[in-house]
Chains A and B, each alone.
Chain A
Amino acid sequence: MNRVTSATHSTRALDTAAGGMIGVRGLAHRYPDGTQALDGIDLAVATGEAVVLLGHNASGKSTLLKALTRLIEPTAGAITLDGTDVIAAGPRELRDVRRRVGTVFQSINLVDQVSVLSNVIHGSLGRQSSPRNWFAWMAATDTRDEAMECLERVGLAPFAARRADQLSGGQRQRVAIARVLMQRSRIVLADEPVAALDPRAGREVMDLLWRIVTEEKLTLVCSLHQLELAESYGDRVVALKNGRLLLDGRIGDLSRDDLAALYTVDVAPAGDTR
């Protein structure tokens, strides 16, 4: 396993940033209350690569995944996604980058008050920003058909007309995946997509996500807590600890010591620099 030192990781980022799908250098985020959630993250992900992001609670995984598309505004660093400089992007360019990056959230973010179909159709708003795509009943027939196909692929076509809050957690996360499909993105960022699910539903959701990622040849960054899942779905592991990059390497090379280091949290959270 490649234990990250400042020398190795910066060169690695420089090497792969050119042809890669995701290039991050010196990324940092400090929340307004002073919490340093990310500190000097360097990362390069090649096209079609599947990266598993590990890290203890509060290590900064969610912050990193949201900062990549500036859902959280990074306080320092450079980001390139699919050839676009995300930090320099203006509002229009930023929306275009976000369109190309599908996100599945830890907290399964659906709009509960509208139908499942409407939620899936929302995935197309980055491509066709027409008010007709706001609600399923207004959408064009071919948009509705495409959304139904996406629902079919996650096995939820019969639930299209239901209100989103009337589904189980696993079903809701599959709707979120259908929304990513609708987005026709090139990258998928998944933040603990199975954290709220039981082991079996978790497996199903991961299988589904994995099948879609391989079928569509997407680039994936997926944070996980379950190591056995990480082993079945990732090529490469990147681990965070207290907002810093701790490990970066092949999944099979992960040693016991590495894991121990990963999950022993320092007594004083090092992220807190106040």
Chain B
Amino acid sequence: MSRLDTRPMPAPSAGGPRSPSRFTRPGWGALITVLVLGGMAVHGVSRLDLSPERLLNAPARTWDFLSRGFPPATDRIPNLAEAMLETIEMAIIGTALGVLFSLPIALLAARNTTPHSWVHVAAKSLLTVMRSVPDLVWAMVFVVSVGLGPIAGILTIMVDTIGFAGRFFAERIEELDRGPIDALRSTGATRLSVMACAVIPTAFPSFTGTSLYCLEKSVRGAAVLGLVGAGGIGVELNVAFQLRQFDTAMTIIIMILVVVLLAERLSGVARKRMLDGGASVR
């Protein structure tokens, strides 16, 4: 064009796509949700029985616990170490069993590998129940069914791990690249073979990562299962608090801290070794 076009720009409404407005008013649903949550918080605080005397006494009582806790008791360390070992072993056995069982359940639960939509719903619901009931509640149930001790603890950790790992495995399986799966299907392989040869190997790095994380989580969880009698160091912790032997309690707390940190470190190192760090963005 040789001449400048001096006609005014057409108004946006006249033609051309309009960009969406920048802000949208939150819907009624969001508003009601915020009001309900806020109301519950206010109501909860009003029922807390926050007497001034209680608040004033708290620092002194905490100080009492700390001053009696230090120096931590050393006389019972051999016994406590044994209980700690039991805790770690409970975590390892429970996690191993849990990871083992969560794999087939995940294959039944993932939409792309399930044999039937009903099985998908059933497996998913099972995982939801296992995950949603808190582990201390599972522990109480298992203490009732198999009695006090580490077996109840192992079962608790197993169920907790299945609920967690099963869900993550299933989600991972659902988002797998379909390429290798199609390649196996195209050879005439059975569904089972496709799962064994394409699904599991391609999802394997993510499975190992999740399993290591579960182990970490189980060590932490196993430490408190003894509070309801499901074996491990938690039993000792419970007794120490009830007898107000705060120096022993402090020893146990420090031991738990060390073991949990160690577990985190070890699983971090193992993850790095196995997954060779993944793709660098540097």
Contacts and interface: CB of A to CB of B under 8 A. Distances in A.
Contacts of B185: 71, 98
Interface stretch (A1-9, A35-43, A126-134, A245-253): A126-134
B196 interface: yes
B182 A183 contact: no
A96 interface: yes
Interface size class of A (residues with CB under 8 A): 35 or more
Contact of A71 (B186, B197, B198, B202): B186
Nearest to B204: A113
B197 A122 contact: yes
B201 A113 contact: yes
B74 interface: no
B8 interface: no
A31 to B, nearest CB: 13
Interface string A111-143: 111100010001111110101011100000000
Q: Which of A95, A97, A100, A108 has the most CB of B within 10 A?
A: A95
A125 B187 contact: yes
Q: Which of B183, B188, B189 has the most CB of A within 10 A?
A: B188
A99 B193 CA distance: 14
Interface size class of B (residues with CB under 8 A): 10 to 19
B182 A71 contact: yes
A101 B186 contact: yes
A99 B187 contact: yes
A110 B187 contact: no
Nearest to B190: A129
Contacts of A122: 183-184, 187, 189, 197
A69 B186 contact: yes
Interface in B179-229: 179-180, 182-190, 193, 196-198, 201-202, 204-205
A109 B182 contact: yes
Contact of B197 (A66, A100, A107, A134): A134
Interface string B125-160: 000000000000000000000000000000000000
A96 B202 CA distance: 25
A156 B106 CA distance: 36
A96 B186 contact: no
A112 B181 CA distance: 12
Contacts of B198: 111
Given A107-B179, A122-B184, A176-B183, A114 B201 contact: yes
Contacts of B204: 113
A116 to B, nearest CB: 13
Contacts of A183: 187-188
A183 B187 CA distance: 7
Nearest to B191: A91
A219 to B, nearest CB: 16
Contact of A95 (B179, B190, B202): B190
A98 B187 contact: yes
Contacts of B190: 95, 125, 129
Contacts of B180: 109-112
Given A109-B179, A111-B180, A134-B196, A103 B186 contact: yes
Contact of B189 (A69, A112, A114, A126): A126
Given A98-B186, A103-B186, A123-B187, A113 B197 contact: no
Given A95-B189, A98-B188, A99-B187, A125 B197 contact: yes
A244 interface: no
B121 to A, nearest CB: 21
Given A105-B182, A126-B189, 20 more contacts: A69-B186, A71-B185, A97-B188, A103-B186, A105-B179, A105-B183, A110-B180, A110-B183, A111-B183, A111-B197, A111-B201, A112-B180, A113-B202, A122-B183, A122-B184, A122-B197, A123-B187, A129-B193, A131-B196, A134-B196
Interface of B: 179-180, 182-190, 193, 196-198, 201-202, 204-205
Report the 7 A-B pairs with minimum CB-CB distance, sorted nearest first: A126-B188, A99-B188, A109-B183, A109-B179, A125-B189, A98-B188, A103-B186
26 contacts: A66-B182, A71-B182, A71-B185, A95-B188, A97-B188, A100-B188, A103-B182, A103-B183, A103-B186, A109-B182, A110-B180, A111-B197, A111-B201, A113-B201, A113-B205, A118-B197, A123-B187, A125-B190, A125-B193, A125-B197, A129-B193, A134-B193, A134-B196, A135-B197, A179-B183, A179-B187
